[in-house]
Homo-oligomer: A and B are copies of this chain.
Amino acid sequence: MNINKYQDISAIDKEAKKDYIDRHSAFVHCESVAKKGEKFKVKVQVGDEYKHPDDFDHYIAYVQLWNGETQLATAHFVAGALGNQPENLEVDFYIVPQKKMKLTATAYCTKHGLWESDAVVVDVQ
Whether a CB of chain B sits under 8 angstroms from the CB of A8 is no
Task: For chain A, residues 80 to 119, give those with C-beta under 8 angstroms from any C-beta of chain B.
Answer: 81-85, 87, 89-98, 104, 106, 108, 110, 112-114, 116
**B72, A74: Cβ atoms closer than 8 Å:** no
Known: A75-B75, A78-B71, A78-B72. A91 touches B90 (CB 8 A): no
- Using an 8 Å CB-CB cutoff, how does the interface string of A29-69 with B read, 1 for contact, 0 for none? 00000000101000000000000001011000100001011
Known contacts A56-B57, A85-B37, A87-B39, A93 near B75 by CB under 8 Å: yes
Nearest CB in chain B to that of A83: its residue: B96
Q: Does A2 contact B (CB under 8 A)?
A: yes
CA distance A84 to B72 in the complex (A): 12
Residue numbers in B under 8 Å from A81 (CB-CB): 72-73, 93, 95-96
Residue numbers in B under 8 Å from A97 (CB-CB): 83
Q: Is A68 touching B1 in the complex (CB atoms < 8 A)?
A: yes
- Which 3 A-B residue pairings sit nearest by Cβ, starting from the closest? A83-B96, A69-B113, A92-B92
